[in-house]
Amino acid sequence: DIQVTQSPSSLSASVGDRVTITCQASQDIRHHLNWYQQKMGEAPKILIYDASILETGVPSRFSGSGSGSDFTFTITSLQPEDIATYYCQQFDNLPLTFGQGTKVEI
Amino acid sequence: QVQLVQSGAEVKKPGSSVKVSCKVSGVAFSTSYITWVRQAPGQGLEWMGRIVPVVGRPSYAQKFQGRVTITADKSTGTAYLEIHSLRSEDTALYYCARQYNNILDYWGRGTRVTVSS
């Protein structure tokens, strides 16, 4: 199975801050990585797919980059509504695997 | 609009089985991947398996192979997840999700399964 290591596990930032989360895959997964946001009590929601493509309707302050085994997710200006846990997920090979999650707090 | 409506919460005894349903509407059910993901209390997301109803042959994470059965009823647009030989570690929220072009784009609200003696 492809392991996806996400860091940090949690972070605290202020409104307007730049927030960065990283994911490292255990092997080359090309650009086959998605990012999801999960707010408390809700199902996950797709934000970024194929490592860097913003899902329709998602604010442009969210972005993703990377390929191969190293990926980055960025919120350029943290907003109160961004409080959530963020997960990366690889789809290069079955089983689909998720990172451990990053809880973002203000 | 797209909806994935899951069955209600279950409380089960260790060693028993549970079957969770996921009724899909608003998308082409037969040609969609219907995926099951679970989330233990306070934990992350874990992919269990998926099925394409038109093919009918599911794929499972090795961890669940032999203890989990994923099926789909094309006539009702409903997918099912059955877990056998339940143990306390199976206590979790079970989500169904539609996978399209490698994206889990639509999700159910989750079904809570509690395993307790």
Q: How far is CA A13 from the centre of its chain?
A: 16
Contact B36, B70 (CB under 8 A): yes
At residue B56, the 3 state secondary structure works out as coil
Contact B72, B53 (CB under 8 A): yes
The tokens describing B26, both together, are 């608003």
How crowded is residue B20: how many other Cβ atoms within 10 Å of its Cβ? 24
Contact B34, B96 (CB under 8 A): yes
The more confident residue out of B32 and B10 is B10
How crowded is residue B117: how many other Cβ atoms within 10 Å of its Cβ? 7
Question: B44, A91: Cβ pair inside 8 Å?
Answer: no
Question: A99, B44: Cβ pair inside 8 Å?
Answer: yes
- What does the pLDDT look like over B46-80, one tens digit per residue? 999 999 988 888 999 999 999 999 999 999 999 99
- Which one of A91, A96, A101 has the shortest CB-CB distance to B44? A101
- What does the pLDDT look like over A8-67, one tens digit per residue? 999 999 999 999 999 999 999 999 999 999 999 999 999 999 999 999 999 999 999 999
pLDDT for the residue numbered B56: 83
Residue A22 burial (CB < 10 Å; 0-12/13-18/19+)?
A: middle
Give residue for tokens 């302050």.
A61
Question: B103, A49: Cβ pair inside 8 Å?
Answer: yes
- Which one of A46, A87, A101 has the shortest CB-CB distance to B103? A46
- What does the pLDDT look like over B11-49, one tens digit per residue? 999 999 999 999 999 988 888 899 999 999 999 999 999
Alpha-carbon distance values, A12 to A85, A87, B79 (Å): 12, 16, 39
pLDDT for the residue numbered B28: 87
Residue type, B109: R
Contact B6, B111 (CB under 8 A): yes
Half-sphere exposure of B80 (CA within 13 A, CB side): 13
**Closest CA relative to residue A103, chosen from B9, B43, B86, B21:** B43
Question: A101, B47: Cβ pair inside 8 Å?
Answer: no
